[in-house]
Amino acid sequence: MAMQERQADAGSSIGVIVVTHRAREHLEHCLPPLFRSPLRPRVLVVNSSSSDGTVELAQSLGAETLTVARPAFNHGLTRELARRRLGTEIIVMLSPDAYPRQEDFIERLTEPLRRGKAAVAYGRQVAGGDASFLERVGREFNYPAASHIRGAADWSEHGSYLRFCSNACAAWSNAALDRIGGFKPTLVSEETIAVAELLARGERIAYVAEAAVEHSHSYDVADAFRRQFDIGYSRRIYDWLLLAGEGDEPRGRRFAAAVLQRARREAPADLPGIVARLAASLLGYRLGLAGHRLPRGLARRLSGQDYFWTSDVAIAGGGALAPV
């Protein structure tokens, strides 16, 4: 594994990990608010071997850096490597294209952990101004205006939404992650796997609506299919954790119904495209659930993470992580 490092004060109790690949254009929006926090977090930019100047700009802005060779990159294990390298009491995971909307973003996001109220907290994601109707409604559906803290006892009320979390904007207790053995090797959804494990151990998860980032994507029909294929595939790998109870589809149906109802009123011209994306998402998810039966070459073509299928962890994991 090739890596480059730039060290900072090891005494910080909060660290921020920003996992990047060709992300230079985002860093000046993402990093500066972090350095202005009075909590003085260490910031580690992890780069998956892109040569666009991401590492150099991150260093000039004051971040530590860690470069991981592309074959060694894995959504779960790379974050595990990074959080162990920082070793701070609290680890914040942030995507480079998630732009904090408050100067006190870090304080707000980590408050439930610093007060011992939860083992993990995730922030609100707000769609950007150029986001599609479907993307905006999706963000509103998953990230409501009211904060909450919940535990396993709330499953009957919230179902699979209870383990919802996004490492695009989340804070974790390092000690709690240690108790579950950290982030696991996976195609995607490392945060959902970790939350499910923490809930099973009696830990609580906080949603902090007051800690917001602007973060959204412009997915077309093919993108929606691939994203959900990867999610379904990862759910199947960890099916004893993520497919227990009602699974994801009941909430997916509620989301689809809510989107279609609003689209008929607010964006009727977008309905054909919305229906196509919803259908592609469902098909992708169900094929992903059966992905372990597919030949490796076909699974790779259906996936949105092409690097995964020839990565070190997929090859070493064999049938546990990827089709043989």
Q: How many CB atoms lie under 10 A from the CB of residue 310?
A: 13
Q: Do the beta carbons of residue 247 and residue 162 sit within 8 Å?
A: no
Does residue 2 belong to any structural domain of this protein? no
Question: Are both 20 and 149 inside the same structural domain?
Answer: yes
The CA distance from 233 to 303, in Å, is 9
Does residue 247 belong to any structural domain of this protein? yes
**pTM here?**
0.92
Query: In 216-270, which ranges are continuous DSSP H helix?
Result: 221-237, 239-242, 249-266
The residue assigned the tokens 């009320």 is 157
Residue 6: predicted pLDDT: 37
Question: Are both 205 and 244 inside the same structural domain?
Answer: no
The CA distance from 278 to 274, in Å, is 6
Question: Are both 185 and 264 inside the same structural domain?
Answer: no
Does residue 3 belong to any structural domain of this protein? no
Structure tokens at 200: 């099973």
pLDDT tens-place values along the chain, 324 residues long? 333 333 333 334 999 999 999 999 999 999 999 999 999 999 999 999 888 999 999 999 999 999 999 889 999 999 999 999 999 999 999 999 999 999 999 999 999 999 999 999 999 999 998 899 999 999 999 999 999 999 999 999 999 999 999 999 999 999 999 999 999 999 999 999 999 999 999 999 999 999 999 998 889 999 999 999 999 999 999 999 999 777 899 999 999 999 999 999 999 999 999 999 999 999 999 999 999 999 989 999 999 998 899 888 888 865 457 554
Q: Which residues have a Cβ under 8 Å from the Cβ of 72 and sit 6 or more positions away? A: 1, 78, 311, 312, 313
Q: What is the CATH number of the domain that holds 42?
A: 3.90.550.10
Does residue 225 belong to any structural domain of this protein? yes
C-alpha 107: how far from chain center = 20
Structure tokens at 74: 């894995």
Question: Are both 86 and 204 inside the same structural domain?
Answer: yes
Question: Are both 95 and 163 inside the same structural domain?
Answer: yes
Does residue 122 belong to any structural domain of this protein? yes
Domain boundary residue among 154, 185, 214?
214
Question: Are both 174 and 26 inside the same structural domain?
Answer: yes
The residue assigned the tokens 């119904």 is 257
Question: Are both 229 and 208 inside the same structural domain?
Answer: no
Q: Which residues of 23-47 are buried (b: 16+ CB within 10 A; e: fewer)?
A: bbebbeebbebbeebebebbbbbbb
Question: Are both 129 and 257 inside the same structural domain?
Answer: no
Q: How many CB atoms lie under 10 A from the CB of residue 157?
A: 9
Does residue 80 belong to any structural domain of this protein? yes
Domain boundary residue among 214, 237, 270?
214
Residue 318: predicted pLDDT: 53
Residue 193: predicted pLDDT: 97
Question: Are both 189 and 312 inside the same structural domain?
Answer: no
Domain boundary residue among 214, 234, 267?
214
Closest by alpha carbon to 72, among 5, 17, 3, 122?
3
Question: Are both 210 and 233 inside the same structural domain?
Answer: no
Question: Are both 268 and 301 inside the same structural domain?
Answer: yes
Please state, in angstroms and as integers, the Cα–Cα distance from residue 65 to each residue in 2, 32, 218, 229, 268, following that order.
12, 15, 28, 31, 47
Q: How many CB atoms lie under 10 A from the CB of residue 198?
A: 25
What are the residues facing 67 on neighbouring strands? Answer: 47
Count of domains forming the chain = 2
Q: Pairing between strand 42-47 and 14-20?
A: parallel
Closest by alpha carbon to 197, among 214, 217, 176, 213?
176
Does residue 1 belong to any structural domain of this protein? no
Residue 209: predicted pLDDT: 98
Please state, in angstroms and as integers, the Cα–Cα distance from residue 254 to each residue in 56, 100, 259, following that order.
45, 29, 9
Residue 1: predicted pLDDT: 34
Does residue 9 belong to any structural domain of this protein? no
Residue 186: predicted pLDDT: 94
Residue 2: predicted pLDDT: 37
The CA distance from 113 to 173, in Å, is 7
Question: Are both 168 and 291 inside the same structural domain?
Answer: no
284: containing domain: 221-317
